[in-house]
């Protein structure tokens, strides 16, 4: 019977954050983090705990999202490409937009 951990190690938490930013579902993140934990010899984190952390990360990212006014100003000043407006409207804009693809 697999053991489940109440706490998640800092290394696994870092991996969880990266997976959350890539938009993976809590279930997929739980599977991947569980596999990593098992390879490290650590107990697998529970789905409930992983889901809670994913939701916390996503809520924090939404709070930090730029407003429409800020984006319009930055596009007008040519500080950001017009594509950011489309991304915001589609709900795919994230706080690190200008660093997309750089980890």
Q: What is the pLDDT of residues 26-61, one digit of tens each?
A: 999 999 999 999 999 989 999 999 999 999 888 877
Count Cβ atoms below 10 Å from residue 46 Cβ, excluding itself.
Answer: 15
Give tens-digit pLDDT for 58-78: 887 765 678 889 889 999 999
Residue 42: beta bridge partners? none
Does the predicted TM-score (pTM) go above 0.95? no
SS (H, E, C) 41-102: CCCEECHHHHHHHHHHHHHHHHHCCCCHHHHHHHHHCCCCCCHHHHHHHHCCCCCCHHHCCC
Burial class (CB in 10 A: 0-12, 13-18, 19+), 54: buried
Phi/psi of residue 5, nearest 5 degrees: -100, 140
Phi/psi of residue 4, nearest 5 degrees: -115, 140
């Amino acid at each position: 019977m697999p053991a489940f951990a109440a706490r998640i190690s800092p290394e696994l938490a870092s991996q969880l954050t990266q997976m959350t930013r890539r938009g993976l579902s809590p279930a997929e993140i739980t599977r991947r983090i569980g596999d990593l934990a098992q390879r490290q010899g650590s107990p697998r984190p529970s789905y409930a705990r992983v889901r809670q952390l994913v939701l916390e990360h996503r809520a924090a990212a939404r709070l930090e999202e730029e407003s429409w006014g800020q984006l319009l100003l930055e596009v007008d000043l040519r500080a950001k490409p017009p594509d950011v407006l489309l991304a915001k409207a589609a709900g795919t804009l994230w706080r690190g937009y200008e660093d997309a693809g750089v980890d």
